[in-house]
Structure formats: C-alpha cells, structure tokens
Amino acid sequence: MSSVIEWERIWQSRTGKTSQISSPEYWCKRAEDYNDYIRTSNFDHGYKIKELLMSEGLLAAEMDVLDIAAGPGSITIPFAEVTRKVTVVEPAVEMCKHLEINAEEHGLKNIEVVNKRWQDVDDSQVQGIYDLCICSQALWQFPDIVRQIERIDRASRGYCCIAIGAGKDSESDQMSRMLGIDTWSSDLFLCFFNILCQQNILANVRMIDAVMKRSVKSAISMWELNLSKYQEPTAEQRDLIRGHVMSNSKEGFYEKVSKLAVVWWPSRGGA
C-alpha cells in the first residue's frame, strides 16, 4: 500500500506554484536580507553540515564540490575551507556578489561561481566530475524533482547531499497563514525521503539544529518580500509583520532554531 503513494506528484503539486514565483529576480531582492541571516548566524548550518560530512569521511582536502543554488555561500564558505575547490551554481546575480565578498573576507580563492540556474547547466559538461554535489534549502525550487535528483546524481562521482527543513515550524506556519501565504512548501522532507526510496536510493539522514539569527531589519524584509510574491503588502500586513518580528526578537536580533534534515547517499555512478 505505502509503495503506491504518488510522492512525486505530491511534490510537484506542493512546489509548482511556489517555485514559479520564486524567480532569480526575487532572490536578487532577497539577497541582502538573506546574506544578513547567513553572516549573522556565522554560517551556522554550513559549518554543522561540514562537520557532519567530515566525520563521515565525505569531505577531504583533495575533493571537488558542487554547491547547487548556493545563495551567499552558507555551504560554500565552510566547505571551501576544507576542500580543493567548490563550484557554485547560483541564478541570482546579487547572491553571487554577496558570495564573492564573503569568500574574499574568508581569504578563499578556490571558489568558482557560475551565475546560472541549475536546470540550465549542460549535463555533459558536469558528468561525474564532482566528489560531492550538495543542494541546501533549495530543493523546493525544482518541481521536477526526480529529474533533478538524477542530474545531481550523475554530476557526482562520489556522494550527493541534500539539506532540507524537517518537522513542523509552527511559528512560520502561523505567520504565513495570517498573511495568506501558501505554506504548502514547508516540511517537504518526508515527501522527498519517500521519493528517494521509490527511486531505490537508500539515503542516510541526520537531523541537525539550524540556527537562524538575523537583524530585525533583515527579518522584516524577509517576510515583506515573501509576501510580495503573492501580493503588494498592505499597511495592516506590514504592521503584522513588524509586530511578529519584534515580539520574537531580542536585542535587535530575530533568532530561531529549526530542524534541518541532512540527507546523503553514494551516487549511483560513483561511490
């Protein structure tokens, strides 16, 4: 019975609309507040994933890594510190600019930035050339999930890794409902997990605590821009956002801890 559930279709229906309206232009607008989040959080989940994968023997000095939808470098920066090279595929040019500044500040010269959507990368150019392909908190951008997993898998000669939010995020869900934002893309982990199983991919899973710490200004921008994907925020909604952020902030910072599932498997053509 459980094997006949159409998880791929469920994924598609839950991510289709959200992914469509979250364009590179949207992420360019979000670059500043997102960069503030990553920097203020001291690249928290990136360093935690790095430690985890190193303890599993999946990251080492001679390795080449592909970071898909890298944003301002939440994964790229920690990983570039311990590997030979990290290639970044990031569609939002403003995110790339922040990433380059972050790399420079960390003294890293082993990062190559490709300003493209992952979907537009030529498979024949990247087949089996990375020891690790990683995509963190961006999988929901791909409604054609099975095809993208296959492409990620083919690009790796070693391992693939996906980081994706897990469990209920009551605070965000409540806020999204109050603003009338589609929450169907939250907690996609179980759907993803079952898709992997149906693809006969046996994956390892670790649940880690990810810290999101950002300035009040960054948090307000996040909610307002998120809402603007659906509608122009009204004055009442702006007040609601400000009130929510302020009541969840301390000393000028909005901070929350949520669960992130780190999922990895040996690529079928590689390890």
Partner 1 sequence: MTAIETGIDWEQIWAEDYEQYRQTMRPDSDDQVYWSQRAEDFSSSRRSNDYEYGRQVLASLWNRVLTPESVVMDVGAGPGTFVIPFARKVKRIDAVEPASGMVDKIKENAGREGISNYGIINSTWQDVDIASISGRYDLVISSLVLWVFKDVWPQLRRMEQASRGYCCVVSGVGGKGDHGETLWRQINPENGNVWHFAQQYPLIYNLLYSKGRLPNVSIVNYASERSVEDKVRHIKLCFERRIHVTHDMEKMIREYFAAKSKNDMIEESGQAAVIWWRSPDAENETR
Please give the residue ranges that form the binding site for partner 1 (CB under 8 A).
1-2, 5, 10, 14, 166-168, 183-184, 186-188, 190-191, 193-194, 197, 202-207, 259, 261, 265
What is the nearest approach in angstroms of partner 1 to the Cβ of residue 203?
A: 7
What is the nearest approach in angstroms of partner 1 to the Cβ of residue 169?
A: 11
Structural tokens at position 129? 């050339």
Residues shown for the chain: 271
What is the nearest approach in angstroms of partner 1 to the Cβ of residue 211?
A: 17
What is the nearest approach in angstroms of partner 1 to the Cβ of residue 268?
A: 14
Rounded CA gap, 73 and 92, in Å?
12
What is the nearest approach in angstroms of partner 1 to the Cβ of residue 122?
A: 32
The closest alpha carbon to 8, from 143, 202, 136, 118, belongs to 143
Question: Considering beta carbons, is residue 174 or 228 the nearer one to partner 1?
Answer: 174
Counting Cα atoms < 13 Å in the Cβ hemisphere of 161 gives 27
Structural tokens at position 88? 């970044």
Question: Considering beta carbons, is residue 194 or 221 the nearer one to partner 1?
Answer: 194
Structural tokens at position 182? 């589609």
Element (DSSP H or E) covering residue 265: strand 253-266
Rounded CA gap, 269 and 127, in Å?
10
Structural tokens at position 59? 């990251």
Structural tokens at position 52? 């985890």
CA distances from 90 to 31, 117, 216 (A): 12, 6, 26
What is the nearest approach in angstroms of partner 1 to the Cβ of residue 37?
A: 23
Question: Considering beta carbons, is residue 166 or 219 the nearer one to partner 1?
Answer: 166
Question: Considering beta carbons, is residue 73 or 143 the nearer one to partner 1?
Answer: 143
Rounded CA gap, 31 and 248, in Å?
22
Question: Considering beta carbons, is residue 110 or 204 the nearer one to partner 1?
Answer: 204
Question: Considering beta carbons, is residue 147 or 168 the nearer one to partner 1?
Answer: 168
